[in-house]
Chains A and B, each alone.
Chain A
Amino acid sequence: DAKTTQPPSMDCAEGRAANLPCNHSTISGNEYVYWYRQIHSQGPQYIIHGLKNNETNEMASLIITEDRKSSTLILPHATLRDTAVYYCIVRVYNYGQNFVFGPGTRLSVLP
């Protein structure tokens, strides 16, 4: 699975959009980008995933660059409850079902 690089921490004002970047310059054509988050003391929670097209669900939007070497997770209106560690994971879809979690980005939503 391709490696990812994320900033260790970010701040965002409550009510504003939170844009979390992820670099995955060695991504292969059959690898998907997944995002999870972990709120303090809870298990990680799936947010969204995509291959090359932008994706949106009720939680967030995922923007993947045309060359697929980077992506951005967007929380359109961040709330205090979005404070968490966000993990970007790149892996082959449905292969082995294993997810390798890096250190992630610690997002702090400030009042």
Chain B
Amino acid sequence: NAGVTQTPKFQVLKTGQSMTLQCAQDMNHNSMYWYRQDPGMGLRLIYYSASEGTTDKGEVPNGYNVSRLNKREFSLRLESAAPSQTSVYFCASFISGANVLTFGAGSRLTVL
């Protein structure tokens, strides 16, 4: 099915471990996004990529890195996980013509 696929769905890490969240979309969207969602905080933008080859910081980029590997894929890396990064992470893609932001199902990350 067309859409945004993110993996893994669940992950438990120990403090200091690293991991990469993967995201891929097959809708030929130009822009891709990573958000985190914490209780009472809404969705906060971590990084986004307006188009292939570009990335920009959002509201809460510290502790994260991203790679726009190609038009389809946008990964989020935690180099040294901290308990404050325990959250639900959503990847999304957007195309201005249709003006629709489509989300993946989310990745629940726990850092102990």
Q: Do A and B come from one complex?
A: no
